[in-house]
Structure 1
Amino acid sequence: MTDSWVDSAERIGSDLHLVLSGPGGRRAALIRALRDAVRDGRLAPGTRLPPYRSLAADLGVARRTVADAYAELVAEGWLTARQGSGTRVAERAEPLRPAAPASRKAPPRAPGPRHDLRQGSPDGSAFPRTAWLASYRRALQHAPGEAFGPGDPAGRAELREALAEYLARARGVRTEPGRIVICSGFAHALRLLFGGGVLRGPLAVEAYGLGFHRGLLAAAGVRTVPLPLDEDGARVDRLGRERAVLLTPAHQFPTGGPLHPARRAAVTDWARARGGLVLEDDYDGEFRYDRKPVGALQGLDPERVIHLGSVSKSLSPAVRLGWMVLPEGLVDAVLAAKGEREAWASVLDQLSLADFIASGRYDRHVRRMRQRYRRRRDRLVAALAGHAPHVEVTGVAAGLHAVLRLPPGSEASAVEAAARHGVALDGLAAFRHPGTDMPVTDGLVVGYAAPPEHAYGGALEALCGAMPPP
């Protein structure tokens, strides 16, 4: 009985792809193809070749053709043949890989800064590898067979159920699993809501925020209208005929501070009266240090507030998982925008996060990181008080960054001085909406979460050395 291609592949452990072409008949073509495969490294030294009959059936040639080709290559030293070991690529046959053209070489990467104090990232060295691996293994072990199929665009039910319980307990969110849609993070949520046509502009935004998000909205054709900020957060009394407003009510990004309770009530009243929506970016709601975390705005009106969250700060941006807690009337529209074959977040990661939350490991990790980041914040404040007491440190009651207020006109030179000291950070101007009429405030946005613990002291020393004089 003739061996099939699958049978031969099973016996040698890998597929052997050969193209027979050129002059001299099938035997000569096979010899050339095998020589080329050894030269360019596709057949490494020691690789066992298929038996005569298997390769002949695969290539559609006579068994004698393969036997003769093998014999000639053995005689030339390309192959070896031993009783009981089969035919293999000779160990001394080195692959002759052509050098890559100079024009295709990747340019050398510029060395990064010695100290990264940019906002936005947690301490990667503190990722809970052992605990996450335990959840991953358990999730993989207990995953039902249908979990490896096409999946549900809303996300795995296990994760939505775990999130509904956690968000209610830890953030005061009022929801149920059927109103949660899993996404890959906050930016993905914005793309689904606005790029997918679920919502339209104009959209009111805070006068200071991430330019990346403004650019994403602009690419979707959404006009953003900046709201001024003061010590009580966004001036929601300036809302007008916008269809929705995007806020960071737990901790304004990047200036710091929660939205005042009166304004929280006022913005939900505006949404009800206007028939509009509030988009709540709960980007670091778990990390409040001086008192109990401020609950989610969504709890005031689940039908007028879209609660958006992710694990990018609490765990890692490498775990591409986020969620949307939606008003009931928007769920179907968001799922339609997501599509039946959208590039969804990994099912195994979803199941792992569900187990991580349900087992209590997520709570323990957040508590541990809250304590670590609070110590780092305290060290930052103390270091600046000792070396640059004229610099005001603000926005430190929560989050993973602080804002250093500077004298007017000194921001750009301070950023340059920090770079000379090997410190990467951002000036406050980088987050300013170009359309706002707020007075310009000079400052530095300093992230204190990203450096590993052993490097944090050096980062603070370099930062203090870069501070402008009084």
Structure 2
Amino acid sequence: MGTITDSNIIEVDFGADPRAKYIVLEGAVRAAIDRGDLPPGTRLPPVRDLAWKIGVTPGTVARAYSRLTEAGVLTAEVGRGTYVAEPSAPAPIYAEFQAPLEVDAVAHGTGGDNWAVNMLSPHLPSVGQGALIRRLMGEIAQDPPSGLMHYPHFAGERPAREAAAAFLAHPMLGPVAPDDITLSHGGQQAIALVLQTVLRGRRPAVLLEELAYPGFRRMAEVLRADVIDVAIDDQGVVPEALLAAARGADAQILCVSPDVQNPTCTEMPLARREALVAAARSADIQILEDDCYRMGEATLPSLRSLAPERVWHVSSIAKTITPALRLGFALAPPGRQLSLRRAAEYNSFGLATPISDLAARLLIHPDLPGLMDELRATVGRYIADAREILDGHALTARDDVSFLWLQLPRGWRASSFCRAAEEIGVKLRAAEEYASREANAPHAVRFAVNTGVTPESWRAALTRLRGLLDHPPEGLGV
């Protein structure tokens, strides 16, 4: 036992607690504050005085004081001493949503609404999922189910795969069992694992939509595969073009995003999906189905459900919960699960065990569906602003997709428009970024919803874009 001041007692029993003494002392100080024995403003004894009173080294007391100061429990004033801090009001679970941060936004020009807004990649709103993740991480840190001292392994990921199966379950996807799922560090790694599993031979070829997610092209190039573009129309991949592209090359897999085509934001209709599957069967080509963009529920049968024998389905939580956790899912055709699992093990031994433990709780948490609904609703409000402000221009937007596609009016080329947009504080992606170097990309741009900026900054940025669209500068070089 030891006395802090004449009127305030701190109870410390080092002998009965196996933890380090500075941790025991830290807990004792916290307990004394919680009991009211050390009210806010109380000055604690100097380090050496307290160390002498409770029979520990000054270093022990200094470390406990330091940890409590970092946590905001104490305040240290140079030359005056250490005091009990005033309690701060607990932040509500939706605090991050109520006061959005200006992420990737800086002052631009003059005027209160002139902010430079980054629309290159989606920035999801924090509507409480961050608080939920922090809480679950805290619980896991206290008692990690998978431990912290061994390599990850497939059997240990079972709870996470069961949660993932429940999370992915939907009639449009087809049956999903836990053993069908290979966990990955994000959707990009899921794509890499599928391509590594499928591609064989000296000159394998990967087929891509002529406008496609750049990650497909980059991963194929990393794996030294040839990349062949396939023509698309307003319904997606043209089946006849797929068959023509496959001739004369060792075409082994088509990478496609039927639910949300990136970057055009279109959805492939059912008749085209069926025709595409028939063409893939005719050419004996595997299909990588990328389902990483849709925020709402699927309304059409997946390619996996139409051709389970040749479709590799990949998904992630980057557009529905958070991209920070790097949690993705890859589903192999029947009989190919072990090959895909081996690719994951050869790459990284599997998902990091703390992330696996977190996934097991997060993906089936009862609060998650409501948070995802709120996230979609928030993104939907930003998209509604874009529709309103850019009305009259060729904008393709969907309420369940966090990016938009804008076809430019006559007089603009995509690269010129992006440069002009950046000069007025808006960063966009030109269509050229989604095409091969040899392709003739359309005069269009893709921009992503950035809910890290306030609705006012978002609307102001869109209004500046509207000004460019309506009044292109004179003498513009096209």
What is aligned with 1:421?
424
1:430 and 1:190 map into 2 onto residues whose CA distance is 19
Superposed counterparts of 1:284-295, under 5 Å: 284-287=293-296, 293-295=299-301
**Residue of structure 2 aligned with 1:229, choices 232, 247, 250:** 232
**By how many angstroms is 1:347 displaced?**
2.0
1:139 and 1:11 map into 2 onto residues whose CA distance is 24
Structure 2 vs 1, CA of residues 238 and 269 (structure 1 numbering), >3 Å: closer, same or farther?
same
| One-letter amino acid matched to 1:318 | A
What is aligned with 1:213?
216
2:273 and 2:150 map into 1 onto residues whose CA distance is 42
Total equivalences in the alignment: 372
1:110 and 1:137 map into 2 onto residues whose CA distance is 31
1:462 and 1:157 map into 2 onto residues whose CA distance is 50
What is aligned with 2:181?
180
Given that 1:153 and 1:338 are in contact with CA atoms closer than 8 Å, whether structure 2 keeps it comes out as: no
**By how many angstroms is 1:255 displaced?**
0.7
What is aligned with 2:458?
456
What is aligned with 2:269?
260
What is aligned with 1:135?
136
What is aligned with 1:431?
434
Structure 2 vs 1, CA of residues 47 and 468 (structure 1 numbering), >3 Å: closer, same or farther?
farther
**Residue of structure 2 aligned with 1:466, choices 464, 468, 472:** 468
| One-letter amino acid matched to 2:273 | R
Superposed counterparts of 1:292-311, under 5 Å: 293-311=299-317
**By how many angstroms is 1:170 displaced?**
7.0
1:262 and 1:294 map into 2 onto residues whose CA distance is 10
Given that 1:283 and 1:313 are in contact with CA atoms closer than 8 Å, whether structure 2 keeps it comes out as: yes
**By how many angstroms is 1:283 displaced?**
1.4
**By how many angstroms is 1:138 displaced?**
4.7
1:361 and 1:120 map into 2 onto residues whose CA distance is 26
Aligned alpha-carbon RMSD (Å): 3.6
1:463 and 1:158 map into 2 onto residues whose CA distance is 47
2:106 and 2:149 map into 1 onto residues whose CA distance is 41
**By how many angstroms is 1:142 displaced?**
6.6
What is aligned with 1:281?
290
Return the TM-score normalized by structure 2: 0.68
What is aligned with 1:441?
442
What is aligned with 2:28?
none
Unaligned runs of 5+ in 2: 1-19, 24-45, 63-103, 109-114, 473-478
| One-letter amino acid matched to 1:279 | L
2:278 and 2:175 map into 1 onto residues whose CA distance is 18
1:377 and 1:447 map into 2 onto residues whose CA distance is 10
Given that 2:270 and 2:301 are in contact with CA atoms closer than 8 Å, whether structure 1 keeps it comes out as: no
Given that 1:408 and 1:441 are in contact with CA atoms closer than 8 Å, whether structure 2 keeps it comes out as: no
Structure 2 vs 1, CA of residues 214 and 440 (structure 1 numbering), >3 Å: closer, same or farther?
closer
2:174 and 2:135 map into 1 onto residues whose CA distance is 28
Given that 1:127 and 1:315 are in contact with CA atoms closer than 8 Å, whether structure 2 keeps it comes out as: no
Given that 2:428 and 2:446 are in contact with CA atoms closer than 8 Å, whether structure 1 keeps it comes out as: yes
Given that 1:357 and 1:363 are in contact with CA atoms closer than 8 Å, whether structure 2 keeps it comes out as: no
Q: Percent identity?
A: 21
**Residue of structure 1 aligned with 2:330, choices 312, 324, 328:** 324
Moved more, 375-384 or 231-240: 231-240
1:149 and 1:328 map into 2 onto residues whose CA distance is 30
**By how many angstroms is 1:183 displaced?**
0.4
What is aligned with 1:151?
152
What is aligned with 1:106?
none
| One-letter amino acid matched to 2:396 | T
Superposed counterparts of 1:383-422, under 5 Å: 383-385=389-391, 389=392, 391-396=393-398, 398-410=400-412, 411-422=414-425
**By how many angstroms is 1:86 displaced?**
6.1
Given that 2:376 and 2:400 are in contact with CA atoms closer than 8 Å, whether structure 1 keeps it comes out as: no
1:283 and 1:206 map into 2 onto residues whose CA distance is 16
Q: Structure 1, residues 322-381: CA drift from partner, whole Å, max 9, x if none?
A: 010111322222222233682643322222222222123332222112211222111111
1:215 and 1:341 map into 2 onto residues whose CA distance is 17
1:306 and 1:422 map into 2 onto residues whose CA distance is 40
Structure 2 vs 1, CA of residues 362 and 155 (structure 1 numbering), >3 Å: closer, same or farther?
farther
Given that 1:211 and 1:433 are in contact with CA atoms closer than 8 Å, whether structure 2 keeps it comes out as: no
Q: Structure 1, residues 19-43: CA drift from partner, whole Å, max 9, x if none?
A: xxxxxxxxxxxxxxxxxxxxxxxxx
1:338 and 1:313 map into 2 onto residues whose CA distance is 22
Structure 2 vs 1, CA of residues 333 and 222 (structure 1 numbering), >3 Å: closer, same or farther?
same
Q: Structure 1, residues 120-150: CA drift from partner, whole Å, max 9, x if none?
A: 3232544612222343345556753557532
Given that 2:194 and 2:312 are in contact with CA atoms closer than 8 Å, whether structure 1 keeps it comes out as: no
**Residue of structure 1 aligned with 2:383, choices 354, 377, 383:** 377
Structure 2 vs 1, CA of residues 153 and 342 (structure 1 numbering), >3 Å: closer, same or farther?
farther
SS of 1:144's equivalent? coil
SS of 1:393's equivalent? strand
| One-letter amino acid matched to 2:406 | L
Given that 2:289 and 2:313 are in contact with CA atoms closer than 8 Å, whether structure 1 keeps it comes out as: yes
- Which structure has the larger Rg over C-alpha atoms? 1
| One-letter amino acid matched to 2:446 | V
1:353 is the counterpart of 2:359: yes
1:442 and 1:154 map into 2 onto residues whose CA distance is 50
2:126 and 2:350 map into 1 onto residues whose CA distance is 27
Structure 2 vs 1, CA of residues 140 and 293 (structure 1 numbering), >3 Å: closer, same or farther?
farther
1:319 and 1:87 map into 2 onto residues whose CA distance is 40
SS of 1:237's equivalent? helix
1:115 is the counterpart of 2:124: no
Q: Structure 1, residues 380-411: CA drift from partner, whole Å, max 9, x if none?
A: 110112xxx3x211243641111111134512
